[in-house]
């Protein structure tokens, strides 16, 4: 029972100590009463606080990774939405692109007889593998009477939809 404190007596409040003159000061005081020196928060009796973030120690804040990653992701999504995916199926531009690919495949499969004028009948006939290059003849969805032509550069143009240059 010798270690017990008498009832009603409380322990004194912890005090912060000035690092220069070692004078005890009130808890929470910013400057020393005696010498006027600034008292650090982590001084004796002031309690331990979390260490400050130091960028030179090699650790980093998660925001340093998350924020740039979100910005890069937003830029990629915006770019994909802005650029688009090319012509949509069912449009004349899509048919022109499919015919140009089919002519390129035909010329690659038949190096001895290159296609100089667009012949959709030759593209629908079964080739060496037994499959046709295109399943059906393609018709312009804007004007069914329009015809597709093979240009000298290998592209396909529509007599109705392709703008005159």
Q: State the pTM of this model.
A: 0.49
pLDDT at 42: 54
Give the ranges where 21-91 is alpha helix by DSSP (H): 63-83
pLDDT band at 46 (very low <50, low <70, confident <90, very high): very low
- DSSP collapsed to 3 states, 82-130: HHCCCCCCCCHHHHHHHHHHHHHHHHHHCCCCCCCCCCHHHHHCECCCC
pLDDT band at 8 (very low <50, low <70, confident <90, very high): low
C-alpha span between 151 and 100 (Å, rounded) = 10
Identify the weakest region by mean pLDDT among 46-60, 66-80, 140-154: 46-60
Q: What is the mean pLDDT of residues 130-138?
A: 88
For residue 16, pLDDT over 80 is answered with no
Q: What is the mean pLDDT of residues 142-164?
A: 87
Q: What is the mean pLDDT of residues 46-55?
A: 56
pLDDT band at 49 (very low <50, low <70, confident <90, very high): low
Structural domain boundaries in the chain: 15-48, 92-158
Bridge partners for 158 per DSSP: 148
Under 8 Å between Cβ of 43 and 19 = yes
For residue 54, pLDDT over 70 is answered with no
For residue 11, pLDDT over 70 is answered with no
- What is the chain's length? 165
pLDDT band at 43 (very low <50, low <70, confident <90, very high): very low
**Rounded percentage of the chain residues whose pLDDT exceeds 90:** 19
More confident residue, 5 or 59: 59
3-state SS, residue 72: helix
pLDDT in tens, 100-130: 999 999 888 888 888 888 988 888 888 777 8
């Amino acid at each position: 029972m010798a270690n017990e404190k008498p009832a009603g007596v409380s322990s004194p409040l912890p005090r912060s100590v000035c690092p220069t003159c070692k004078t005890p000061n009130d808890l929470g005081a910013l400057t020393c009463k005696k010498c006027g020196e600034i008292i650090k928060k982590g001084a004796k009796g002031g309690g331990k606080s979390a260490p400050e973030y130091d960028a030179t120690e090699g650790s980093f804040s998660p925001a340093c990774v998350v924020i740039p990653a979100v910005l890069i992701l937003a830029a990629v999504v915006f770019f994909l939405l802005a650029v688009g995916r090319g012509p949509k199926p069912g449009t004349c531009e899509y048919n022109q692109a499919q015919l140009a690919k089919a002519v390129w495949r035909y010329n690659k499969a038949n190096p001895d007889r290159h296609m100089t004028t667009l012949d959709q009948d030759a593209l629908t006939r079964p080739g060496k593998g037994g499959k046709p290059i295109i399943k059906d003849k393609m018709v312009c969805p804007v004007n069914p009477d329009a015809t597709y032509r093979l240009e000298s550069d290998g592209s396909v143009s529509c007599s109705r939809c392709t703008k005159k240059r």
